[in-house]
Amino acid sequence: MPSDVYPVNLTHHFLIAMPGLNDELFGRSVVYVCEHTPRGALGLIVNKPSGITIDDLFRRLGLPLGRPAWSGMPVLRGGPLQTERGFVLHEDMGEPQPLLVATPPAAALNSPAPASALPALLQAAGALPDEPSAADAPASQSARPTVYASSLKVAGGGLELTTSRDVLEAVSVGAGPRRILLALGYASWGEGQLESELGDNAWLTVPADPALLFEVPVEQRYERAMALLGLQPWMLAPGAGRA
């Protein structure tokens, strides 16, 4: 990391786009940061609908929607990378219990092919080192056992990010997480990139509130995220502010 960039860990924080951030996808966006290490960061945009619903996605996967109350829930545009791949943010499901009978790995959300491990995806995004050292362990929970085949536990957040199909198979029979946020694609920043954008006042930051992720309507999330800082968008002129 460049010497002029201050150290910061924004895991389980919201990034709130400043009014001066003019980008079709990131403008007026709220990003939930799932992982932030010295190698980079990874997150999901949580307030941009993709145009399809969870019903549509389950039909495409050939699964029933076992949670009727979720009918019509929007699937989000999680970011510009891997937009054909599904990412499910949900409550931490704990650690798996030992199985008496081995089961085959679950398929990826978007295809019947075997799921690639989420840590490998994070490595490709530059968010995790190829060989984490003991010093990195507290900041990265990806090595902890999870219920699902491919999940990242968000450090300090009580949440997990899952990319394997098994989480949706659980939902299809009325089991699995009680609350989910489902997105296509993700956002990532390389080493020092997010810190540089913060220095340029592209983002405001605030500790994440899970209620905003799972209870606030998508179209209200930008204003509600601002409200966590005691602000409203009209209070900030483009290019002004502090992250």
Percent of residues, the chain, with pLDDT higher than 70: 74
Q: Tell whether 31 is covered by a domain.
A: yes
- Residues above pLDDT 90, as percent of the chain: 67
What are the tens digits of pLDDT across the range 72-87?
999 999 999 999 999 9
Distance of alpha carbon 104 from alpha carbon 112, whole angstroms: 12
Domain span at residue 170 reads 13-235
Greater model confidence, 68 or 242: 68
Q: What is the phi/psi pair of residue 214, to 5°?
A: -115, -15
The residue among 169 and 234 whose pLDDT is bigger is 169
pTM for this structure? 0.80
* 127 domain-assigned: yes
Looking at every residue in the chain, the average pLDDT score rounds to 81
> Residue 200's pLDDT is what?
93
pLDDT at 199: 93
Q: Which DSSP state fits 53?
A: E
What tens digit of pLDDT does each residue of 18-58 get? Answer: 988 889 999 999 999 999 999 999 999 999 999 999 999 99
The band of 98, judged by pLDDT with boundaries at 50, 70 and 90, is: low
Which DSSP letter does residue 97 get? P
- What's the number of domains the chain is made of? 1
* pLDDT value for 209: 97
Q: Answer whether residue 2 is part of any domain.
A: no
Q: What is the pLDDT of residue 50?
A: 96
User: With helix as H, strand as E and coil as C, how does the chain read?
Assistant: CCCCCCCCCCCCEEEEECCCCCCCCCCCCEEEEEEEECCEEEEEECCCEEEEEHHHHHHHHCCCCCCHHHCCCEEEECCCEEEEEEEEEEECCCCCCCCCCCCCCCEECCCCCECCCHHHHHHHCCCCCCCCCHHHHHHCCCCCCCCCCCEEEECCCCEEEECECHHHHHHHCCCCCCCEEEEEEEEEECCCHHHHHHHCCCEEEEECCHHHHHCCCHHHHHHHHHHCCCCCHHHCCCCCCCC
- Whether residue 186 is contained in a domain is answered as yes
Q: Stretch 199-208: mean pLDDT, rounded?
A: 95
pLDDT, tens digit, 9 for 90 and up, residues 106-120: 445 653 333 333 444
Residue 104 placed within a domain: yes
Examine residue 227 and state whether it is found in any structural domain, yes or no. Answer: yes
CA 72 from chain centre, in angstroms, equals: 20
Q: pLDDT band for 146, please (50, 70, 90 cuts).
A: confident
Q: Are the C-beta atoms of 93 and 158 separated by less than 8 Å?
A: no
Q: pLDDT tens for residues 173-203?
A: 999 999 999 999 999 999 999 999 999 999 9
In a domain, 146, yes or no: yes
* 241 belongs to a structural domain: no
Distance separating the N- and C-terminal Cα atoms of the chain:
19
pLDDT of amino acid 117: 35
Judge whether residue 127 has pLDDT over 60. no
For residue 110, give the CATH number of its domain: 3.40.1740.10
pLDDT value at residue 97: 54
